Amino acid sequence: MAPCMHAAWLQVSSGTAVVRAVFKDPNGAFIAGGATVARSGCWSMLKGGMTAFASGPGELFFEADGRVDIWVDSVSLQPFSFPEWEEHRRLSAGKARRSVVKVVARAADGVPLPNANVSVKLLRPGFPFGNAMTKEILDIPAYEQWFASRFTVASFENEMKWYSTEWMENHEDYTVADAMLRLAQKHGIAVRGHNVLWDTNDTQVSWVKPLDAQRLKAALQKRISSVVSRYAGKVIAWDVVNENLHGQFFESRLGRNASSEVYQRVARIDRTARLFMNEFGTLEEPLDAAAISSKYVAKLKQIRSYPGNRGIKLAVGLESHFGTPNIPYMRATLDMLAQLRVPIWLTEVDVGPKGAPYVPVYLEEVLREGYGHPNVEGMVMWAAWHAQGCWVMCLTDNNFNNLPAGDRVDKLIAEWRAHPEGATMDANGVTELDLVHGEYNFTVTHPSLGSPAVRTLTVDASSSAVEHTIDIKV
Smallest CA-to-CA distance from 59 within 10, 34, 31, 23 is with 23
Q: Is 21 left (phi over 0), alpha (psi -120 to 50) or beta?
A: beta
Continuous segment of H or E residues that includes residue 434: strand 430-436
Bridge pairing between strands 344-351 and 44-52: unpaired
Angle in degrees, 0-180, between the axes of helices 213-231 and 258-269, rounded to the nearest 10 = 30
Q: What are phi and psi of 16, to 5 degrees?
A: -130, 155
Paired with 120 in beta bridges are: 442
Report, in angstroms and rounded to the nearest whole number, the Rg of the chain calculated over CA atoms.
25
- Contact (Cβ atoms closer than 8 angstroms) between residue 172 and residue 178: no
- Contact (Cβ atoms closer than 8 angstroms) between residue 195 and residue 202: no
Out of 144, 166, 243, 365, the active site residue is 243
Bridge pairing between strands 98-107 and 467-472: parallel
Non-local CB neighbours of 210 within 8 Å, separated by 6+ positions = none
- Contact (Cβ atoms closer than 8 angstroms) between residue 20 and residue 287: yes
Active-site residue 144, yes or no?
Answer: no
| Alpha-carbon distances, residue 220 vs 216, 304, 432 (angstroms) | 6, 20, 54
| Alpha-carbon distances, residue 422 vs 156, 314, 438 (angstroms) | 38, 39, 16
User: The sheet that has 16-24: what strands, in order across it?
Assistant: 30-39, 16-24, 59-64
Bridge pairing between strands 129-133 and 453-459: unpaired
Rounded CA separation 435/420 (Å): 7
Non-local CB neighbours of 175 within 8 Å, separated by 6+ positions = none
Continuous segment of H or E residues that includes residue 79: strand 70-79
Continuous segment of H or E residues that includes residue 333: helix 327-337
Continuous segment of H or E residues that includes residue 442: strand 438-445
Rounded CA separation 133/140 (Å): 12
Smallest CA-to-CA distance from 394 within 386, 87, 37 is with 386
Out of 319, 348, 369, 377, the active site residue is 348
Active-site residue 421, yes or no?
Answer: no
Rounded CA separation 201/191 (Å): 26
- Contact (Cβ atoms closer than 8 angstroms) between residue 120 and residue 422: yes
Which positions are annotated as active-site residues? Answer: 243, 348
